[in-house]
Structure 1
């Protein structure tokens, strides 16, 4: 059996390491490498990418943009950075959005969704696409994440024995209401206005919880109708599971799915039936990054969708 040649550009970072680890034990692949001295040489990196059948770009945005003009158009690219998530000619790699799974086998340029964006989009995009949530609804979103999403320097900061006591507390950030995931949140959901988004990082390693509250009189739909629509939309999906309305536990830890590549959706409604909460739980390093990238790769190459995933 001929093997696919795969290159992980940026394999020393958190996402790249996780992707490389997932691929290392799979017989379908030959993993290409680059000498340590050449890791920052864009031409050397491009040369390795051009030898591959498929390459992952696990790089800062600028580095991802820099190498693309040097890449053969026939080489299939999965970009985990923010650089191309709303760019023309790139497929947004969320297979569960209807139409995307069918498009992946022919795609050569695929942008892997952001972690917070994944948690929000799986809740909102189907409802907008089905005409159940108005495109001009003023969406608000909160996201709580472990510190693994902060990268190597952020992880080291949290694990430093002499760290600041402030790191023991949840820390909301992006308080000027600007965040790199907002463009994809708005664009993929088809919203007319930018969501109000508050991300929060906390003192635990991995796991994410995203919430979107709804005022149902403004939506014009009942909680049961919206919850049922989400269940129908994701029915049969191998990675996403939707729980029935009001089946959320009294306490729902954000690290519930840490170490796994699945995503759970919960919906709740207030006793008066006027307020609803849409909730997604995932691992920011799993379905929020490396797991999502591997899922897309499998579909692009015609391999079993969940191969190499921890479900």
Structure 2
């Protein structure tokens, strides 16, 4: 398999693509940290804020004004773990946490951008925007067919200044065009929505330093999670139900995003809910219908309904 994938529910995207044995393509931040020590500094969110001139600092340094957004300086597990808005100096003192930072509360679209990078130059990128829900959860993500010229130009400039010598995929999370996170990988949740031949182009980038992808057939895609309440131990839906959901019109993939044999509290999940699955589709209505069908595998009182 060409990709170093820790989540077995995403093997489906990569296991049938040929790849030279020496090629390693990471999808998980801890692996990226080890594989690219020269560029692992991008996981320091306080440093990322500094590259953009943002007013930010570690806990223990008082913000000049409130509210601020607080989060871990380094979080290699994602899912918004430990993040919160802090509205006063008293609340800041109460929630003091070593290894955490504060920065401005940003406004605007929350965008995830995957980029193919060759020696500090962006050769390809694609945006996805999330519709936030509550407590770190998203209602869904839209993988957009249309480009985002202003954001792409801003990211290209940042990469040119800070990522010389790096080749591979990068993922940026931005709010209102401001980088809040950078990763030395791509978002493997929806790479099937990028189009036929994208994974092959990914392998070629890491194998030979070339990016060759026919990207003219873009269409919007949707990635929709199914969340349930915390505090329960869940089992996977029956195989027949999974097959039925995968066969539904316009559904491109189904991921069951948890390990049955692992305690629920050992999964990296947002504070608001436990993510049972992700459904990718080329129609939002189709994704919602597939989510409702999949939810039938669980007691209704445990499902967090989003429609």
Same fold (TM over 0.5): no
If each structure's helix is expressed as a fraction of its own residues, which one has the higher value?
1
TM-score relative to the length of structure 2: 0.25
Which structure has the highest strand share of the two? 2
TM-score, structure 1 as length reference: 0.24
